[in-house]
Amino acid sequence: MELKDLKGMGPKTIEYLHKLNIFCVEDLVEFYPYRYQVYQEMHLKETNNEQTIMINATIESTPKISYIKRNFNRLSFKALSDSYLINVTIFNRGFLYKNLEVGKEIFLIGKYNVKKNSFIASTIKLSPLKKMQIEPIYHKIQGLKNKQMHDFILQALQNKPKLEDYIPFDLQEKYHFLSKEEALQEIHTPKDAVKLKQAKLRLIYEELFVFMLKINFLKVRNQEIIGISKEFPQEKIEEFITHLPFSLTKDQIEATKECLFDLKSKKKMNRLLEGDVGCGKTIVATILMYACFLSGYQSALMAPTEILAKQHFQTINDLLAPYQVRVALLIGGQTKKEHNEIISRLQKGAIDIVIGTHALISEDVLFSNLGLVITDEQHRFGVNQRKNLQNKGREVDTLYMSATPIPRTYALTIYQDMETSLIKTKPSGRKEIKTYVKKESELKSVLMAILEEIKKGHQIYVVAPSINDEESDKYDVDTLKKKFDDAFLKKVKIEVVHGKMNSKEKEGIMQRFINGETKILIATTVIEVGVDVKNATTMVIFNAEMFGLATLHQLRGRVGRNEMDSYCYLISNEDNERLKVLEQSNDGFYISEQDFLMRKEGDLFGTRQSGDMSFKIADLKRDFKIVLQAKKDSATILEQKNQMEEKYKKVVRSVISID
C-alpha cells in the first residue's frame, strides 16, 4: 500500500508529508504523537474556579450567537450537568451552532465559576464521554488537522505495514515487551495509561537499540582500521608554535600533542576536540593542518556557515602564509569561475588547505592527496555529510570540533567510538562575562547600560526566540527592532537578521556588523555560532526561559572575545532556577551538566538537530537509563559478528559496509 492509496490523501498532503520525511505508510505509522490529551469526566461539585474540568451535559436552551467584533463571536446556551443548570459560553465557535440543539448530550472542557454559575468552555465535543479517553496529539502539519492525521495513520495500521522488528526475540521475552504491531496500535490508539506506557517503552528501546548498535559497531570498526602514518619534523611544529603571536594554554598544548600523536600513528584518527566558546580550538586545528602540509598531504576544514568559513580562512591564512602554505576558501557564494579555479587547483595539488561550507562535499570537488578532514560544530552536519568529505581521500584522519560542551555522561556513551580531547582553559586576558537575570520591568536599566556601551564605541547583540510571534506574549525580532528604535530615537544603526533571509541579505547584514557600521544586531539564534566581533561587549536575550542553558551559553560566548568588560542580560519574567546557573558560572562544562540534570526534556544541544542525533520517539536525556541498557545489549549482538542476522547487518551497513 502506498500513501496515495489512503482514503482522502491528495497530492498536496503527500507533498506536506514528504517535507517530514514521510514517504511511505511505514514512515507514516512511525510518526508518533508528541503528547496526549486525557479526557475523564468530572463533576461540578468537585471543582474550583481555577481548575480546568471536563463534564458531560445536556443542552437545555436554544444556543445564541452574538458578535463582539467582526471576526469575534460568542456562542451561549444553558445546559444541565449533575442536576446543575449552568450558563455555558464559548468564544469564536459560532460554526458549532448548527450542531447544537435542545436535548443533545455533549462533552465540555473549560472552567466553572461557582458564584456566577457560568461555564467558560474551551472545547465542546458533540457526543458525551462514556469512559476515559486518551487522544493522541501530533505536531501540526501544514494543511492537516490532528484528526485527519490520526485517520490516515489508522488506515495505514489497518493494512498491517511490514516493519522490521529489531529487538532480538530473547530480549523481547526478557523485558516482556509488547509486539511491534501491538505497540504501534497502542501508541496511536491507546486503551489506557498502562498499555500506552508499555508501548512507548518498547518503541523507545528499539530506536535506542538500533542507535547504539551503530555506535558500538563504529567503535569496533575504528579499532580495526589501519590508517596512514603522517611523517613530519617535530622541530618545525615547535618552531611554528614558538612564533605564534600568543602563547598556547596548557589544555591547547595537551590537545595538540594528542592530535599530533594520532597523525603519526598507524591508527586512523577519529577524535572529538571539545572546548568551550572562545577557548582556542582553531589554533589546534591550524597546527594539525600545518603538520599535514609538512607530511605532503592536503587538509579540509568544513564549517556550518559562510561567515564562520570566512573567519577561519582569514585566521588560518594569516598564520600560515609565512610558511608558504597555500590556503583557499570554497563557499557557495563564490562565482562559478572562482569555484572552478579552486577545484582545479585542489585536484592538481596546488592548494594545501581548503576551508569551506557544504560546498566541499560537492561531487566536483576532488583532492590530489587528502589526508585530514576537520568539521567545525560537527553536530550541525549529518553523518552522511561528514562521510562524503572523508571519502574524498584514502583512510583520512578526522577531527571533529565542537563548542557545545557535552555532559560527561552523554559523551561516554554517544561518542564512545571517538577519542576525546578537551580544552577547558581560556586564552589569557579574557575576562569573565558578567551575567544578570532581569525582569522585563527592569528593561530600562538594561537599555541605559546598552547606551553606555554604545557611547564607548562598543556593539550589542540582541536575541529574540522567534522571527514573528503574533499568538503569544513572546518577543520577536520585529517587535524588538521597534522597541530599540524607539528607545534610542532611531539615532543608533540597528539591523535585524534571521534564518528566513536569503544568504546574500544575511551575509550583508552580518558583514556590516563585523565592520562596525551596525551598532545593535537583533537576531534569532543564527548568531549562535560563527560570529567573532571583538568589539561586541553586550548580549541581551529576551524570553531567556525558552532556551536551553547550552544554547544560552553559546549565545553569551559571542561577547567577551576581548580584554574589555562584557555583559549578558537574560530577560525573563519567570522565576527560573536554570537561568541562575548562568549568573553563577562561565564554565560551559559545568553548565552542560546542570542543563542535563535540570531540563525536563530536550536533546543534547537544546534544539533538535538533523542527522544522527534526531529521534522519532526517544530522547537521549530523558531515556538515558534505556540508552545504557541498549548499549550493553547491542554490544552482545556485535560479539557474534559472523552469526549476525541479516537485519542487523543491514543496520550497520547504513553506517558503512561490513562485508
Count of domains for the chain: 3
What pLDDT, on a 0 to 100 scale, did the predictor assign at position 391? 78
For 336-362, what is the mean pLDDT? 93
Contact 477, 498 (CB under 8 A): yes
The answer to whether position 645 is within a domain reads no
> Per-residue DSSP letters for 622-636?
TTHHHHHHHHHHHHH
The three grid cell numbers given for residue 442, joined into one nine-digit string: 527592569
The model's pTM is 0.65
Same-domain check for residues 242 and 309: yes
From 79, 96, 125, give the residue that closes a domain.
125
The answer to whether position 372 is within a domain reads yes
Same-domain check for residues 405 and 510: no
316: domain CATH number is 3.40.50.300
Contact 540, 450 (CB under 8 A): yes
Same-domain check for residues 321 and 401: yes
Residue 649 has pLDDT above 80, yes or no: no
Confidence of residue 131 (pLDDT cuts 50, 70, 90): confident
The answer to whether position 327 is within a domain reads yes
The answer to whether position 504 is within a domain reads yes
Distances from the Cα of 614 to the Cα of 23, 208, 344, 611, angstroms: 17, 11, 36, 6
Residue 413 has pLDDT above 70, yes or no: no
For 355-381, what is the mean pLDDT? 84
pLDDT tens digits, one per residue of 133-159: 899 999 887 778 898 999 999 999 998
> Per-residue DSSP letters for 392-404?
TSSS-EEEEEESS
Contact 56, 63 (CB under 8 A): no
Same-domain check for residues 405 and 456: no
For 493-515, what is the mean pLDDT? 86
Higher-pLDDT residue of 305 and 407 is 305
79: domain CATH number is 2.40.50.140
Confidence of residue 602 (pLDDT cuts 50, 70, 90): very low
Q: Which of 53, 193, 54 is nearest to 128 (CA)?
A: 54
Q: Which residue carries 558578567 as its cell?
A: 434
What pLDDT, on a 0 to 100 scale, did the predictor assign at position 612? 43
| CA–CA separation, 213 and 487 (whole Å) | 56
Give the amino acid at 651: V
Confidence of residue 184 (pLDDT cuts 50, 70, 90): very high
What pLDDT, on a 0 to 100 scale, did the predictor assign at position 261? 95
Q: Which of 406, 402, 380, 464 is nearest to 595 (CA)?
A: 406
Q: Which backbone phi and psi does 59 adopt, to 5 degrees?
A: -70, 130
From 125, 152, 178, give the residue that closes a domain.
125
Same-domain check for residues 445 and 527: yes
Domain assignment of residue 474, given as a range: 434-585
pLDDT tens digits, one per residue of 532-576: 788 999 999 999 988 888 788 888 988 888 888 999 999 998 877
What pLDDT, on a 0 to 100 scale, did the predictor assign at position 386? 55
The answer to whether position 87 is within a domain reads yes
What pLDDT, on a 0 to 100 scale, did the predictor assign at position 606? 35
pLDDT tens digits, one per residue of 57-76: 999 999 999 988 878 899 99
Same-domain check for residues 266 and 302: yes
Same-domain check for residues 382 and 447: no
The answer to whether position 540 is within a domain reads yes
Residue 11 has pLDDT above 50, yes or no: yes
HEC per residue, 203-272: HHHHHHHHHHHHHHHHHHHHHHCECCCCCCCHHHHHHHHHCCCCCCCHHHHHHHHHHHHHHHCCECCEEE
Q: Which backbone phi and psi does 177 adopt, to 5 degrees?
A: -75, 150
Same-domain check for residues 486 and 461: yes
What pLDDT, on a 0 to 100 scale, did the predictor assign at position 642? 56
Contact 453, 461 (CB under 8 A): no
pLDDT tens digits, one per residue of 34-59: 999 888 888 888 777 778 899 999 99
For 231-238, what is the mean pLDDT? 95
Same-domain check for residues 415 and 497: no
What pLDDT, on a 0 to 100 scale, did the predictor assign at position 410? 66
What pLDDT, on a 0 to 100 scale, did the predictor assign at position 368? 94
Residue 412 has pLDDT above 80, yes or no: no
Distances from the Cα of 475 to the Cα of 441, 446, 545, angstroms: 14, 16, 12
For 197-225, what is the mean pLDDT? 86
In 126-192, alpha helices (H)? 146-158, 169-174, 180-188
Q: What is the mean pLDDT of the chain?
A: 85
| CA–CA separation, 487 and 475 (whole Å) | 16
For 616-645, what is the mean pLDDT? 81
Distances from the Cα of 407 to the Cα of 163, 485, 591, 604, 641, angstroms: 34, 40, 9, 9, 31
From 75, 108, 125, give the residue that closes a domain.
125
What are the beta bridge partners of residue 495? 521
Spell out the residues 6+ positions from residue 205 whose beta carbon is closer than 8 angstroms to its own: 167, 175, 177, 626, 629, 630
What pLDDT, on a 0 to 100 scale, did the predictor assign at position 614? 67
The answer to whether position 160 is within a domain reads no
The three grid cell numbers given for residue 524, joined into one nine-digit string: 534569532
Same-domain check for residues 483 and 523: yes
Same-domain check for residues 266 and 412: yes
Residue 405 has pLDDT above 70, yes or no: no
The answer to whether position 473 is within a domain reads yes
Confidence of residue 603 (pLDDT cuts 50, 70, 90): very low
Confidence of residue 601 (pLDDT cuts 50, 70, 90): very low
Same-domain check for residues 414 and 457: no
